[in-house]
Amino acid sequence: MSHAATHDQHDDHHGAPKNFFQRWCMSTNHKDIGTLYLIFALTMFFIGGSFAMVIRAELFKPGLQLVQPYFFNEMTTLHALVMIFGAIMPAFVGLGNWMIPLMVGAPDMALPRMNNLSFWILPFAFTLLLSTLFMPGGSAAGGWTMLPPLSLQSSSLAYTVFAIHLMGISSIMGAINIIATILNMRAPGMDLLKMPVFVWSWLITAFLLIAVMPVLAGAVTMLLTDKYFGTNFFNPGGGGDPVLYQHIFWFFGHPEVYIMILPAFGIISEVIPTFSRKPIFGYKAMVFAIASIAFLSFIVWAHHMFTVGLPLGADIFFMYATMLIAVPTGVKVFNWVSTMWGGSMTFETPMLFAISFVILFTIGGFSGLMLAMVPADFQYHDTYFVVAHFHYVLVTGALFAIISATYYWLPKWTGRMYSEFWGKVHFWNSVIWVNVLFFPQHFLGLAGMPRRVPDYNVAFANFNMISSIGGFLFGASQLIFLGVLIHCVFFSKKRAADRVWEGAKGLEWTVPSPAPHHTFDVPPVIHEGDLAHGHVND
């Protein structure tokens, strides 16, 4: 193999360029692009959050209060699309961008220009998606799953579909980049089974993304041709079947929910060992658990379709396959708890979010198991019980992990400490109000309140009011988060050490805080203490 000498093209070797456009729009720097992703995700989090506030305000009391039913449906649809594709996924990609090269000793992502493209597609895609709100006829309002024939009635379907195509292209390119970085850019000595669990989780997530985003693209393309080009994929009169759409969508959709949780597993597997001052319990088991969850996620999709009239054998197969996922998930929860067991634990903000993740995500897992039972799901399906389930796994799961990661690595990014006091205020407010918000929804669902309705039976009034109050306060608590971030980035005086946390291991802590614009111009030499897992040369 040819050993090219230093062909370093950085015009800006020692710092970021001063010109705004050059720095942010022409970037080939994983840290700047990661920052862009994170800021974008935060923005979308607040936009999607404001939609949720509209939903909870409307549901505060029975009867139509504030908005028209169609607008309510637009809100539920866009809330989900914005949060999934605009907030959670880009936040994980941003974290991956920032941390994966630092964790494996790479100078940057493997394909830095494509990385920039992956990011810049997103603001345009969401402009397209959100602009439909202002169009005559309004935005898509048939739910984020866009099931035909209802979704075909949306007058702006073409915009929505193309926005989803763009997001898909962005995710696929982002995922290709992450795989190439992890497989090709590791420093010598950073063997696969010495990588941090976060890197492993992203490797597997990236594989899932490349496998299922094109399937979503196919599904929405069929919607597009059914609406505008007269095809009959989903029209039984022409030999098609609306249930076909559901199969294709959920073949994407279920792996998609794991795309939103596996990187979170990775984050928690970094944070808990650090603040327990112990290596993670069962490193290899953790890696294999992630891999088996990813594999199983391809054969459980129809648990979203138990009530559409599948053949009985299919219902039963998908029920058992779904329950099987509880096994590797249980392994993970067990190992996190075992990592804490006997550790000398401290409870800084990232750790608080991580611990609450373990508890609350597990609650979401249990409600998932209840939903996985076919006869039970006949009752729970499309009720608020499902809403409660996926908000436990997504808000107290994926989102709490993202917040935990933000507190954990923020000092590395900025070189300054955030305010621990206000971080804790943020944590306690979040964890209390999120439960006030979502726990009552279990009861609402069990009592039969359907999801996606702007009005409801008075019997559901009390729990809805409690949930709405929790919702408003949870929303307000996130403003504290914003405050902590702004304070840390612009005003904090407290310098962060290179190894920010006492028990932290991994290459990312060997570079200065803030991490310089370029790290690892040459492959770093890995020392024994730097590795979180395994030994040098073993």
Partner 1 sequence: MGQQHDAYFVPAKSYWPFVAAVVMFTTVFGAAHWLNAEPGDTGFGKTVLTIGFVGVLAMFFGWFRSVIRESLAGSYNSQVDTSFRMGMMWFIFSEVMFFGAFFGALFYIRMFSVPWLGGEGRGVLTHEFLWSHYAASWGADGGNGPQHVGGAFHTVAAWGLPLLNTLILLSSSVTVTIAHHALRAGHRGKILVFLGLTVLLGALFLNFQAHEYIEAYRELNLTLHSGVYGATFFLLTGFHGLHVTLGTIMLAVIWFRVLKGHFNKDHHFGFEAVAWYWHFVDVVWLALFMFVYIL
CB of 375 to ligand HEM, least distance (A): 12
CB of 321 to Cu ion, least distance (A): 11
Q: Which of 62, 143, 214, 279 binds partner 1 (CB under 8 A)?
A: 214
Q: Tell me the Cα Rg of the chain.
A: 23
Asked if 451 is an active-site residue, the reply is yes
Give residue number: closest CB to ligand HEM: 368
Instruction: Considering the complex, state which of residue 140 and residue 504 has its C-beta at the smaller distance from ligand HEM.
Output: 140
CA dihedral 321, 324, 328, 330 (to 10 degrees): 140
Asked if 139 is an active-site residue, the reply is no
Of the candidates 502, 501, 509, which has an alpha carbon nearest to the alpha carbon of residue 530?
Answer: 509
Give yes or no for residue 537 binding partner 1 (CB under 8 A).
Answer: no
**Residue that has been written with the tokens 């993304």 in this structure:** 209
Asked if 408 is an active-site residue, the reply is no
Of the candidates 369, 273, 285, 365, which has an alpha carbon nearest to the alpha carbon of residue 320?
Answer: 369
Q: Which of 185, 271, 354, 360 binds partner 1 (CB under 8 A)?
A: 185
- HSE at residue 537, side-chain half, CA atoms within 13 A, is 2
Choosing among Cu ion, partner 1, ligand HEM, none, which partner's interface includes residue 369 (Cβ < 5 to 8 Å by kind)? Answer: ligand HEM
**Residue that has been written with the tokens 């309705």 in this structure:** 453
Q: Is 62:112 a contact under the CB 8 Å cutoff? A: no
Q: What gap in Å lies between CA 73 and CA 68, rounded to an integer?
A: 9
If 0-12 CB within 10 Å is exposed, 13-18 middle and 19+ buried, where does residue 4 land?
Answer: exposed
Q: What gap in Å lies between CA 285 and CA 130, rounded to an integer?
A: 42
Using DSSP's 3-state secondary structure scheme, residue 383 falls into: strand
CA dihedral 153, 85, 452, 232 (to 10 degrees): 30
Give yes or no for residue 159 binding partner 1 (CB under 8 A).
Answer: yes
Choosing among ligand HEM, partner 1, Cu ion, none, which partner's interface includes residue 239 (Cβ < 5 to 8 Å by kind)? Answer: partner 1
Give yes or no for residue 416 binding partner 1 (CB under 8 A).
Answer: no
Choosing among partner 1, ligand HEM, Cu ion, none, which partner's interface includes residue 322 (Cβ < 5 to 8 Å by kind)? Answer: ligand HEM
Asked if 171 is an active-site residue, the reply is yes
Q: CB within 8 A of 127, min separation 6: which ones?
A: none
Asked if 382 is an active-site residue, the reply is no
Asked if 256 is an active-site residue, the reply is yes
Q: Which of 251, 283, 353, 407 binds partner 1 (CB under 8 A)?
A: 251
Choosing among Cu ion, partner 1, ligand HEM, none, which partner's interface includes residue 108 (Cβ < 5 to 8 Å by kind)? Answer: partner 1
CB of 388 to ligand HEM, least distance (A): 10
Catalytic residue among 171, 181, 322, 468: 171
CB of 465 to ligand HEM, least distance (A): 24
**Interacting residues with Cu ion (CB under 5 A):** 254
Q: Is 428:349 a contact under the CB 8 Å cutoff? A: no
Choosing among ligand HEM, partner 1, Cu ion, none, which partner's interface includes residue 394 (Cβ < 5 to 8 Å by kind)? Answer: ligand HEM
Q: What gap in Å lies between CA 374 and CA 300, rounded to an integer?
A: 13
Choosing among Cu ion, partner 1, ligand HEM, none, which partner's interface includes residue 270 (Cβ < 5 to 8 Å by kind)? Answer: none
Asked if 258 is an active-site residue, the reply is yes
Q: What gap in Å lies between CA 67 and CA 69, rounded to an integer?
A: 6
Using DSSP's 3-state secondary structure scheme, residue 515 falls into: coil
CB of 303 to Cu ion, least distance (A): 5
Q: Is 287:203 a contact under the CB 8 Å cutoff? A: no
Give yes or no for residue 141 binding partner 1 (CB under 8 A).
Answer: no
Catalytic residue among 200, 258, 336, 433: 258
**Interacting residues with ligand HEM (CB under 6 A):** 145, 257, 260-261, 303-304, 322, 325-326, 329, 365, 368-369, 371-372, 377, 380-381, 386, 389-390, 393-394, 397-398
Helix (H) or strand (E) holding 61: none
Enumerate residues 27-46 that contact partner 1 by CB under 8 A.
27-29
Q: How many residues does the chain have?
A: 538
What residues are annotated to the active site?
Answer: 79, 108, 144, 170-171, 254, 256, 258, 269, 303-304, 329, 332, 451
